[in-house]
Structure 1
Amino acid sequence: MSSRLPTLAVVALLLLAGCLGSLADDGGSSDVPLPGSSSTSTEQNDATATTGTNPWGDDPIVVAIENGDEPDREFAPLVRAATDYWEENADEHTGFDVSYRVVPDAENPDIVVQFVDDVPNCANVSHAAGCAPRITDSRQIQRPENVSVRTGLSDESTELVLKHELGHTLGLDHDDEPADVMAASSVLHTEPRPNASERDFPWADPEFTVYVDDENASDPDGAREQVRHAFDYYEDGADGSVPGNLTFEYVDSPDEADVTVRFSDGSACGGNPGSCAVTSGPDPDGDHEVERYERLDITLVDLDTAAVGWHVGTWFAHGLGAEESEEKPEPFQDDSYRNQHSNWWE
């Protein structure tokens, strides 16, 4: 049997905004004060932003920290790294110097950085990684101003979100430099998570949708019957070797499918008769390993119809995490020609 199983790592893209998140059509909520802030005209804001006047004044900006969602995680070093960045770079990008004092439990802070599981509504921006008011005029400020940052991100991504949001509090917008910090969107990663290969069950749920493309099958009806034998076997529990709650629904579009089965008479799978498969899914923690499988694409090349079910069943076992032959259900541990062409499901 010819087989290969590359794994596709799909980087999770979390969009950011005044907010660092998915953006509203007007460019994001950072262009307006947070509710309750003093509002000033656009003309006043633009003038202040371009004259290099620090809206916070000359004293250090006192930054407090509230962390109710990840109490065992120390965020203060990341906040200090972000404030250090702006102490070094604010003059170049805003036209004024700035200094900070990070005091996690400060009683009268200028800014409170809140680490939250879900960033509050940021002018209708959904799934934001962070949110902050864009401060361009001292009359906007109502101390303490709140900066929200989503928990669950890696240290590197958390620090990026902090830099971005603090940039807004210094008057910077999404079109401003430094572009790598103030861009409206960025690739962020979560804290480390188990990979699909490390999970007992590598899918999000046991309910599978299946698409069968039998266009190149020599016997389409027979091929579909074989595919059903494979998935019926798993739905019946595979002789106790898999969870007993697996279900399979056949769909009419590959876009709707968790599992696709295609037949090829071309160069797929190395150009030899046999089969191959690809698993794919998200990589939210950025370790170049898929966290959970979202797709299993099985390709069958020039197979006898009687062997189709065995090949599909073998690859589905792999999709459930069975890397070695002895980990697979018993019918798929024997890859002999006779077994592949037998009624192994009986």
Structure 2
Amino acid sequence: MAMRTSRTAVVGLVLVVALAGCVGPVGELPVDGPSTTTGGDATTASTAPTTGGDATTRSTPSTVGSSPGTSEGTPSPTPTAAPDRENPWGSGPIVVAIRDTSGTARNWTPLVREATAYWEAEGERFAGFPVTYTVRPDATDPDIVLEFVDTVPRCEGADDAAGCAPLIEDRRQIDRPETVFVRTGFSDNSTARVVEHELGHTLGLTHDDAPQFVMASRTVLYTEPQPDATERAFPWDDPNFSVYVDVANASDPDGARRQVEHALDYYGAGAPGMASNITFTTVESAAEAEIVVQSVETSPCGEDAASCGRTVGQDPDGDGAVETYSRLRISLVDLDTDAVAWHTGYWLAYGLGAEDDSEKPSPFRNASYEERRSEWWT
């Protein structure tokens, strides 16, 4: 009685946008995310000062580039497969069926055909033998079933995988139909890349093998299109914020701190038109904080600006725009103490989703010099 042996290769997902390493025969490897900024974050860029009286510098999301691993145009490493290696699937076409247990309405067939066409063109070069496929989504007796799922079943210890396939190096390992799992929720290009990667494992290729832009465990995956932060009513993952306040450089640090607290309390109590369940917890360092309010000696805000705000966020769909914010930094420049609350409140409204002044609570719409220094929060 023949014994079936197989080793499992897995592609993990970290921070929604990155492929992690493989478990099983080659071990787990580090993870890359979008490489433009630390941790896959994208930052906003300041524009010219606006509003009268004290000038405030408005921040708007900037275009952020990304480098998804090694591009298709990059020369591939020297093939590692032995020439004329035997095809474990035999000489005929490998029949691929498609199954969707996720309930999505996407048409996966063109993406699967894109992936199989890649290996038909490159199989002999990289796997060591020619490969042909027949993609028949409803095949009743396939060699491989590509199953699209919301969550890939636990795969050799990986908790969160983008795909999972058997590593097939010998025809004695094959028990038709072999199932290859692919997680849904990715863009078309990223989905095709995951399918290419997993089919590579069914041809005996590991993460150490060429072509590295397909088989390496380090790459970037993008999600399906998502609303940008500026299109969301609330552009954060949750309404509970850690806050660090540094007003040591203010002319009256104690007074400035009380002013910042007035602004925080205003939103914590449910500012008109803003989320009603916001909470703020003070932390001891800027590194711990999602929101940093800081009086500064050297202005990052531009000439004549009294304050500015800078947001940082994630770009999981790779469209160059931030989808959700992860940090807000408010810089206060040489302000009168009694104007600190207004400037802090203005930028809190911006960071909480009211980018346009017409969307902000009424104290921040065309406020005069005197109104900015009033007890507007009462």
CA displacement at 1:89 relative to structure 2: 0.6
- Deviation at residue 300 of structure 1 after TM alignment: 0.9
Q: Distance in 2 between matches of 1:288 and 1:113?
A: 31
CA distance in 1: counterparts of 2:22 and 2:114, whole angstroms: 26
Work out whether residues 185 and 223 of structure 2, in 8 Å CA contact, stay in contact via their aligned partners in 1. yes
Give, in angstroms, the shift of residue 235 of structure 1.
1.4
The separation in 2 between residues aligned to 1:133 and 1:190, in whole angstroms, is 25
Deviations 1:221-268 (A, max 9, x none): 111111110011111222x32232221111112233221111111132
Gaps of 5+ in 1: 1-10, 31-46
With over 3 angstroms needed to count, the CA separation of the structure-2 counterparts of 1:244 and 1:267, relative to structure 1, is: closer
Deviation at 1:271, TM superposition (A): 4.9
Report the secondary structure of 1:129's partner residue: strand
Instruction: Kindly provide the amino acid, as one letter, of the partner of residue 297 in structure 2.
Output: D
Identity across matched positions, percent: 55
Are 1:272 and 2:304 counterparts?
yes
Q: 2:141 aligns with which of 90, 105, 108?
A: 108
Q: How far apart are the structure 1 equivalents of 2:358 and 2:182?
A: 46
**1:12 Cα deviation from its structure 2 partner:** 5.9
AA paired with 2:156? A
The two structures have a TM-score, normalised by structure 2, of 0.79
Q: Is the 8 A contact 2:222 2:317 kept in 1?
A: yes
User: Hey, what's the Cα distance between the residues in 2 that align with 1:144 and 1:203?
Assistant: 44
Match of 1:301 among 317, 321, 333: 333
Counterpart AA for 2:97: A
Q: 1: CA distance between counterparts of 2:294 and 2:173?
A: 60
Q: Pairwise mapping of residues 20-35 of structure 1 onto structure 2 (< 5 A)?
A: 21-24=20-23, 27-28=26-27
CA distance in 2, matches of 1:56, 1:300: 67
Q: Decide which of 262, 266, 270 is 2:294's aligned counterpart.
A: 262
Does structure 1 conserve the Cα–Cα contact (< 8 Å) formed by 2:358 and 2:365? yes
The 5-angstrom pairing of residues 65-144 of structure 1 reads 65-144=98-177
Normalised TM-score (structure 1): 0.85
1:117/1:151 contact within 8 Å kept: yes
> Structure 1 stretch 331-340 or stretch 147-156: which is displaced more?
331-340
Separation (CA, whole Å) in 1 of partners of 2:262 and 2:161: 45
Q: Is the 8 A contact 2:24 2:156 kept in 1?
A: no
Q: Is the 8 A contact 1:223 1:305 kept in 2?
A: yes
Cα contact 1:190–1:284 (8 A) shared by 2: yes
Distance 1:267 1:251 in 2: 24
The match for 2:320 is 288
> Which residue is equivalent to 1:310?
342
Q: Alignment partner of 1:201: what SS?
A: coil
Shift in Å, 1:185? 2.0
Structure 1's 27 and 309: CA in aligned 2 closer, same or farther, altered over 3 A? farther
Q: Secondary structure at the match of 2:319?
A: coil
Show structure 2 runs of 5+ residues with no match. 1-13, 30-79
Note closer, same or farther for the CA distance 1:14–1:126 as it changes in structure 2 (3 Å cut): farther
* Counterpart residue type for residue 349 of structure 2: A
| Pick aligned residue for 1:249 from 262, 268, 281 | 281
Offset, 1:214: 2.2
Tell me the number of residue pairs that the alignment of Structure 1 and Structure 2 aligns: 315
Distance in 1 separating the partners of 2:318 and 2:162: 16
Give the Cα separation in 2 of the matches to 1:311 and 1:323. Answer: 14
Change (3 A) 1:263 1:132: same
1:186 aligns with 2:185: no
The one of 17, 35, 41 aligned to 1:14: 17
SS in 2 for 1:81: helix
Work out the CA distance in 1 between the residues paired with 2:352 and 2:147: 40
1:165 is paired with a residue of what secondary structure? helix
State the AA in 2 paired with 1:201. F
> In 2, distance between residues paired with 1:50 and 1:138?
17
- Separation of aligned partners in 2, 1:204 and 1:267: 30
Structure showing the higher strand proportion among its residues: 2
Residue aligned with 2:301, SS: helix
Q: Which structure shows the higher helix fraction?
A: 1
User: In structure 1, what residue type is equivalent to 2:246?
Assistant: D
Q: Does 1:327 align with 2:359?
A: yes
